[in-house]
Amino acid sequence: MKHRMKKIMSMLVIGVSVLSLSACAGQKEDTENKGDELLSQQAVTTAEGLTDTIVVLTDEEIESYKESTDDFTVQAMEAWETSKEELGSFVSSEEAQVEYDDEVYTVTIPSEFEKADANFVYTFDETGVPTGMSMDIQYSLAVNMQRAALNTVMGLGVVFIMLIFLSFVISLFRFVPKLLDKKSKETEEDLTPVTVPAQETAEAAEEEVQDDTELVAVIAAAIAAAEGTSPDGFVVRSIKKVNRKKW
């Protein structure tokens, strides 16, 4: 089966190449519209052959073709692989529709499947060589309504979750004034000056006076000893500290 599918794909590629060469050779004799018509028919024939080949591929064959070095083959296999389970078994295809725009041919093949309808959409370049393929699934009204309902429920769920989170954050604001008051009290306690009792101040002044009296007596005794007289006649008016510079 695998060899047969490869043979079919090879024949399609060869056919596309032959038709492309024929179209290019005939452009000198045919008008431009005639050339477009030939390429359009070529694109439709190629697209129908590819569709008939793709819809009967097994999972193993799809994986095998995905290892191809041809970009179009890999893209087609990936598009079909992501859609085949959702579509189910192939039933039939309708007449292909082709559009030409900016040197690109787009061929759409409406197809019916077991679970849903879908369009095979192929693109071809100006020479008729396939360049891309995609699946356009046509969902029923019931499926679209179901998806819309699910999206609505999910959106409302996200909104309610955010509202609950915001309510929780707002509820924490009640603790902010308490924290600020506590911080303010701690700051006031740090800045409050320490009051020294009057008794301790008086005792400190008395000690200072006593220290000065003793200092005066020592100075007077030193002067009397130096002069050889009695210290009774000396009177110390003030005591000043002299800063002496060290040379």
Sign of CA dihedral 59, 63, 68, 71: positive
pTM comes to 0.50
What pLDDT score does 35 carry? 47
Tell me, yes or no, whether 241 lies in a domain: no
Report how far residue 15's alpha carbon sits from residue 2's, in angstroms, rounded to the nearest whole number.
20
> Both 70 and 180 in a single domain?
no
What pLDDT score does 203 carry? 59
Amino acid 61 reads E
> Both 167 and 204 in a single domain?
no
Tell me, yes or no, whether 247 lies in a domain: no
Range of the domain at 208: 198-233
What pLDDT score does 11 carry? 52
> Both 227 and 166 in a single domain?
no
Residue 28: CB partners within 8 Å, gap ≥ 6? Answer: none
User: Which tokens go with 107?
Assistant: 């061929």
> Both 205 and 177 in a single domain?
no
> Both 210 and 128 in a single domain?
no
> Both 170 and 128 in a single domain?
no
Tell me, yes or no, whether 120 lies in a domain: yes
Tell me, yes or no, whether 238 lies in a domain: no
What pLDDT score does 70 carry? 92
What pLDDT score does 79 carry? 93
Cα-based torsion angle of the residue sequence 210, 215, 218, 223 in order, rounded to the nearest 10 degrees: -140
Tell me, yes or no, whether 152 lies in a domain: yes
Which residues pair with residue 99 across a beta bridge? 106
Q: Kindly give the confidence (pLDDT) of every residue in the chain, 247 residues in length, as a single tens digit, with 9 standing for 90 and above.
A: 545 555 555 555 444 454 454 444 444 444 344 347 888 899 999 999 999 999 999 999 999 999 989 999 999 999 999 999 989 999 999 999 999 988 899 999 999 999 889 999 999 998 889 999 999 998 767 766 877 888 888 898 999 899 999 988 888 888 888 788 777 777 776 666 655 555 655 555 555 555 566 777 777 777 777 776 766 666 666 666 666 655 4
> Both 76 and 7 in a single domain?
yes
What pLDDT score does 16 carry? 47
> Both 76 and 23 in a single domain?
yes
